Amino acid sequence: MSYGADLNFNYFAPTRVVFGVGSVSELPFEVGQLGRKAVLVTDEGLISAGMVDPVAKMLGAALAGIYTDIPQDSSMAVVDRAADYALSLGADVVVSLGGGSVMDTAKGMCLVMKEGGSLRDFQGMQMLTRSQTPHITIPTTAGTGSEVTSAAVVMDREQGQKILIYEYFITPQVAILDPKLTEKLPPGLTASTGMDALSHAVECYLSLQRNPISDSAALHAVRLITRFLPAAVDNGRDLAARGQMQLAALLAGWAFSNALLGLTHALAHALGAVCGLAHGLGNGILLPQVMRYNLEEVPGLLADIAAAMEGAPRGLEGREAGEAAVSGMEDFLKRIGHPTRLRDVGIEEGALRACADLALSDGSIIYNPRMVADAEEVLTVLKRAY
Ligand SMILES: [Fe+2]
């Protein structure tokens, strides 16, 4: 790895982190620091799992209301409805309890609650000029990193595409990471959300916009995930492993929020929009194939990834070491029981062309270290993963 004398970058990571088993009990204090009345944003699955009630009770009179109508892939319309609801309650703080879709919906809400109108009016990057409604995140998965990032990905059903909103002013003020809140996540979701985090770490380490600070966070995330994700999958109640996975997801989140991503995420977004494939599954399956695609461009960076991976072979150099990262990633997927082929998760081969076309217009593709020439190249990567 080398950086020239012309190295220059911004690094933005303003979210305060409250970590530890039982740390969710800090929520009332944190709400009191930011406002008077909080709207709690979550989903029906967490209500059924009995995880929302204790948090709602904890807030007492500071709870303005609970919004739960959030699907797996949120949309512009969902955000607008949720913001209207929060405004009708007079809420001045947003608390999101859930995974990526819940937290990204809440980020959109914070924006619409402050600026008015519809989220549709704010597509793009760095358009905001002032602070938005304050936001406290409480993630219940260890993957998305959304608890600390400046990004929200929301489906635009009119355009049939997932839209990235990237604004410093939608970065949450506080992230409460309580490992206990992730212990009920089943093994399959633990694996796929964990692979989302690992994709963030690998993609931003290879990104054209990487910098020394994001590099350090990304490589440590690779170490933590390859060491602790198998333990979290095998025994969900292993709170030490759960905690380390939460920290890994957060580190990878900070890293990619600054260094951005690449072709894996462009493809996962397209597979989500065209086929409804869950984000983590798409990333997990595509990651080794995109690493292989990038190998000729950045063998040294992939060798660094291999060196950080628990259990990867040592003593290799150059391209051979880079190849070890790719094969190590394929082995890792099998170790955690994650699907390895798109055909295994219900994707029709006939849908791949539309996914390739859509991925070409995804913002993440710009930062991929190997320039993607056309949709044919993307289709080749997808077919290798099929
Ligand atoms: Fe992701």
Facing residues of 63 across strands? 38
Q: Any idea of the CA torsion for 28, 29, 31, 34, to the nearest 10 degrees? A: 170
Q: Please give the distance, rounded to the nearest whole angstrom, from the Cα atom of residue 196 to the centre of ligand 1.
A: 5
Q: HSE (CB half, 13 Å, CA atoms) of 116?
A: 0
Q: What is the pLDDT of residue 164?
A: 87
Q: Please give the distance, rounded to the nearest whole angstrom, from the Cα atom of residue 5 to the centre of ligand 1.
A: 32
Q: Please give the distance, rounded to the nearest whole angstrom, from the Cα atom of residue 279 to the centre of ligand 1.
A: 7
Structure tokens that stand for 106 in this block = 């809440």
Q: What is the pLDDT of residue 241?
A: 98
Q: Please give the distance, rounded to the nearest whole angstrom, from the Cα atom of residue 101 to the centre of ligand 1.
A: 11
Same fold? 16-182, 187-384: no
Q: Please give the distance, rounded to the nearest whole angstrom, from the Cα atom of residue 215 to the centre of ligand 1.
A: 17
Q: Please give the distance, rounded to the nearest whole angstrom, from the Cα atom of residue 149 to the centre of ligand 1.
A: 11
Q: Please give the distance, rounded to the nearest whole angstrom, from the Cα atom of residue 29 to the centre of ligand 1.
A: 30
Q: Please give the distance, rounded to the nearest whole angstrom, from the Cα atom of residue 308 to the centre of ligand 1.
A: 20
Facing residues of 19 across strands? 177
**What is the third-level CATH fold of 187-384?**
Dehydroquinate synthase-like, alpha domain (1.20.1090)
- Full strand arrangement of the beta sheet holding 161-166: 124-125, 161-166, 151-156
Q: What is the pLDDT of residue 1?
A: 55
Q: What is the pLDDT of residue 157?
A: 86
Distance CA 338, CA 353 (A): 24
User: What pTM was estimated for this model as a whole?
Assistant: 0.96
Low-confidence spans in the chain with pLDDT less than 70: 1
Q: Please give the distance, rounded to the nearest whole angstrom, from the Cα atom of residue 146 to the centre of ligand 1.
A: 9
Domain locations in the chain as residue ranges? 16-182, 187-384
- Using an 8 Å Cβ cutoff, are 370 and 267 in contact? no
Q: Please give the distance, rounded to the nearest whole angstrom, from the Cα atom of residue 42 to the centre of ligand 1.
A: 19
Q: Please give the distance, rounded to the nearest whole angstrom, from the Cα atom of residue 144 to the centre of ligand 1.
A: 5
H-helix or E-strand containing 383? helix 375-384
Distance CA 367, CA 71 (A): 29
Distance CA 26, CA 191 (A): 28
Report pLDDT digits (tens) over 137-195. 999 999 999 999 999 999 888 888 888 899 999 999 999 999 999 999 999 999 999 99
CATH for 16-182 (3.40.50.2000, 3.40.50.1820, 3.30.450.20, 3.40.50.1970): 3.40.50.1970
